[in-house]
Structure 1
């Protein structure tokens, strides 16, 4: 059983400066949270080299997202943000272990599962493995290691391009869930959203279709949210396609490093094709990017924090980025940072919606805004996240999975009992505090 080693101290008090209600947090209070994170990393480490019941064996030690008893396996997209914190905290070897374990899983299964449990083998999660590899390579410069990883990354890319491709050429989320599991997803989805979908007069076929959509939404990592209208398989998500664009641009660079100029040009063309398709199908007349419903040839009506993935990946041109920031940021930014979806009436109380903020969206917003030269906005978002985490740490002596952007606390919309969190909450805190200290240059990455 893991024990959290708590750094004790007095209740933290935050002060606010007048400029845009921006929080000013003393360095000592930030350092207290950083110390807690640094001394807690080892409690999140597991090592299970052989398969055991539902747990999939992994060749190297790895981190789990929570130091409580929740989420005690390796998870896919969580780990990208965790790795950022590990690298910045001097734990490169552990970040590399996480990455190599995922490469192992791709070699074993042909894709990266949602997590290292057999019950997660029916789906993946948002693709970030290429960016994890790139982060390790950025630190080590090991071209031999990169060449081996590149071959495996192309296997994962092939999974997305064969199992998750739509008629319009963009990608979607889905799953390989059987009928029994789809039924379970309908039950779980109803419980988490506070309703019983079986009392809606749906046919057996419609119930199974709904279950398939819920399973796809679980693959999106945003389970559950208003973006996809409970029809996730019908949408081309902007963030998924932004990540795959990032893969293609990195693949072009890796091909050049290996001396394969023909392959590099092919990857570059694939990236440009995807950029064109994203602009064609996802870019609204208002200059905001929306998830595209390819079944009904229409865009979602929800502005979400997923748009920052486009800036993170480098997709918009300068004018498109200016309009996007101008139109979307004001609809998503609140007292304590970025809400994952805009504040508007929704049918259900989704946890991936207002008033919740989730650390990965904060990370992508800071990095994406700064990449395009919106450093003032990025800094403001970073300050708000740091202030919120410091405030709640002072109140609870812990980090959490998600936060309330209106109140700066953990009074959040929940679909289950919210766990304490190290993982992406810690990684994003480390990234944001380092950014505020001037230790990060995002504009050199594109």
Structure 2
């Protein structure tokens, strides 16, 4: 493979092709779009076209950034197809750039939060994690420049305490581990974008698919371990590990996450799977069929505890909602907002609105006309399809990996127990949500006791979860798909 002097070719390339001087090569640059790449031994090959020239510039820059003077460059590297190039960058650069860990090495970035504005920074520790409390207390003492306060959460998180936290929001710790030398570090996770420093719920599942595809199953496993930590110490998989997310989860993909790992890992560790399955069952019972989310229909809903406006939003975010109430009380919106948030004014209509808003945020579909102002009253197609898959996945693991006997908290679970749950859920979904004539699954309003009739892409969740019958699938494809299919994909709604 030819070896090239980085600086010489980098400078020549910019001079010849970066006409507007922005250190990029785009269609706006009216250069010759032909560059002769010369190796150290005098051999060369020509690179033509904006896209391939931009690849060359990227490779030279990345090598230069790494402190290299020379670089092996092949034609295969430069003449990649766009999809292959994107995949290569994700695999070799982007995963690294999106990986975070909460420990001393990254503490300043971890506590930084663009959604809050506070002079003091806070880290909150679960009440039963003494090791983490001592570890982060030592960091607080060592890094006085961060103006950091490390505090323990109470055993029970009440709505009143959530309001206290809103005045001093902070980071919720994730799992720590010790290596063989005794060094403590945070268990790593991937964030959905460069500006984030916290681990998100359902984003993590989809990130894990990419990680596994790119040979980073180790990082996918680490993220699952952080989910187990959240269930153990915060009672649920959080929307994300910030205090203002303590009251809500996100769409449940844990069993799918576990299954992807288990089916792709080379060395099967039955103890790991047993632990993972116990956490999935715990989350299922305590969160998704717990008292706040299981409804009178036997199906589940999204729900976020608390009251008032979500603190992570900008102050003016809900001004359009507050405006008529401010007018009623003859106040300017900022004054009304302050009095409402401090409980000087009680407005039941607003509490109803924010009850639904918190549920919308837990659903991950924020914001959507489908569920806005009504979400907490809905058995949604997506959530109940996901829970059907939980039930089927758990049944699968119990039968295939644990000889159809799984001990959870002293009770033996058999696959038939979970298949029965799945059967009941499917029957309820078919009865309350399926519309044969229109060819859609619709969310069910359990307060009004009727379907919503809002045509949306969540109608395809039962296909992915393998809940829909062959007949339903055929009708969906015939009637729903033409209404939602657009150039490039599926529209969220009609």
Task: Give the TM-score of the pair, scaled to structure 2.
Answer: 0.61
Tell me what 1:123 maps to: 248
How do 1:240-389 and structure 2 match up within 5 A? 240-256=383-399, 257-261=401-405, 263-284=414-435, 285-342=437-494
Tell me what 1:174 maps to: 303
Tell me what 1:114 maps to: 239
- Give CA-to-partner distance per residue, 1:224-243, whole Å, 9 cap, x none: 10112421101111000000
Q: Is 1:127–1:244's contact at 8 Å kept on the other side of the alignment?
A: yes
Look up the SS of the partner of 1:341 in the other structure: coil
Tell me what 1:79 maps to: 204
Q: Is 1:7–1:36's contact at 8 Å kept on the other side of the alignment?
A: no
Cα distance in 1 for partners of 2:226, 2:468 equals 33
Cα distance in 1 for partners of 2:429, 2:478 equals 19
- Aligned match for 1:57, one of 162, 170, 173: 173
Q: Is 2:381–2:441's contact at 8 Å kept on the other side of the alignment?
A: yes
The structure with more helix, counted as a fraction of residues: 1
Cα distance in 2 for partners of 1:110, 1:8 equals 50
Instruction: Tell me the CA shift for residue 167 of structure 1.
Output: 0.3
Look up the SS of the partner of 1:196 in the other structure: helix
- Aligned match for 2:95, one of 41, 44, 48: 41
Structure possessing the higher relative contact order (Cα contacts under 8 Å, 6 or more residues apart):
1
Q: Is 2:381–2:442's contact at 8 Å kept on the other side of the alignment?
A: yes
Cα distance in 2 for partners of 1:287, 1:65 equals 34
Cα distance in 2 for partners of 1:184, 1:43 equals 25
**Number of positions where the alignment pairs a residue of Structure 1 with one of Structure 2:** 319
Alpha-carbon distance change, 27 to 273 in structure 1, aligned in 2, over 3 angstroms: farther
Instruction: Tell me the CA shift for residue 36 of structure 1.
Output: 2.1
Look up the SS of the partner of 2:441 in the other structure: coil
Tell me what 1:378 maps to: none
Instruction: Tell me the CA shift for residue 196 of structure 1.
Output: 3.1
- Aligned match for 1:143, one of 238, 251, 270: 270
Alpha-carbon distance change, 27 to 320 in structure 1, aligned in 2, over 3 angstroms: farther
Alpha-carbon distance change, 290 to 180 in structure 1, aligned in 2, over 3 angstroms: closer
Q: Is 1:228–1:300's contact at 8 Å kept on the other side of the alignment?
A: no
Q: Is 1:189–1:214's contact at 8 Å kept on the other side of the alignment?
A: no
Instruction: Tell me the CA shift for residue 27 of structure 1.
Output: 6.8
Alpha-carbon distance change, 187 to 278 in structure 1, aligned in 2, over 3 angstroms: farther
Q: Is 2:433–2:444's contact at 8 Å kept on the other side of the alignment?
A: yes
Cα distance in 1 for partners of 2:488, 2:50 equals 19
Alpha-carbon distance change, 185 to 30 in structure 1, aligned in 2, over 3 angstroms: closer
Look up the SS of the partner of 2:261 in the other structure: helix
Instruction: Tell me the CA shift for residue 72 of structure 1.
Output: 2.2
Q: Is 2:244–2:311's contact at 8 Å kept on the other side of the alignment?
A: no
Cα distance in 2 for partners of 1:187, 1:234 equals 26
- Give CA-to-partner distance per residue, 1:364-386, whole Å, 9 cap, x none: xxxxxxxxxxxxxxxxxxxxxxx
Cα distance in 2 for partners of 1:96, 1:329 equals 35
Cα distance in 2 for partners of 1:165, 1:11 equals 55
- Structure 2 gap ranges (5+): 1-22, 27-48, 53-78, 105-122, 125-148, 150-169, 176-186, 330-345, 406-412
The structure with more strand, counted as a fraction of residues: 2
Instruction: Tell me the CA shift for residue 282 of structure 1.
Output: 0.6
Instruction: Tell me the CA shift for residue 254 of structure 1.
Output: 1.7
Cα distance in 2 for partners of 1:311, 1:207 equals 37
Alpha-carbon distance change, 8 to 81 in structure 1, aligned in 2, over 3 angstroms: farther
Cα distance in 1 for partners of 2:451, 2:393 equals 28
Cα distance in 2 for partners of 1:166, 1:186 equals 32
- Aligned match for 1:134, one of 244, 259, 264: 259
Tell me what 1:190 maps to: 318
Note if 1:224 corresponds to 2:367: yes
Alpha-carbon distance change, 324 to 186 in structure 1, aligned in 2, over 3 angstroms: farther
Note if 1:91 corresponds to 2:216: yes
Alpha-carbon distance change, 183 to 91 in structure 1, aligned in 2, over 3 angstroms: closer
Look up the SS of the partner of 1:126 in the other structure: coil
Tell me what 1:165 maps to: 294
Tell me what 1:388 maps to: none
Q: Is 2:239–2:362's contact at 8 Å kept on the other side of the alignment?
A: yes
Instruction: Tell me the CA shift for residue 310 of structure 1.
Output: 0.9
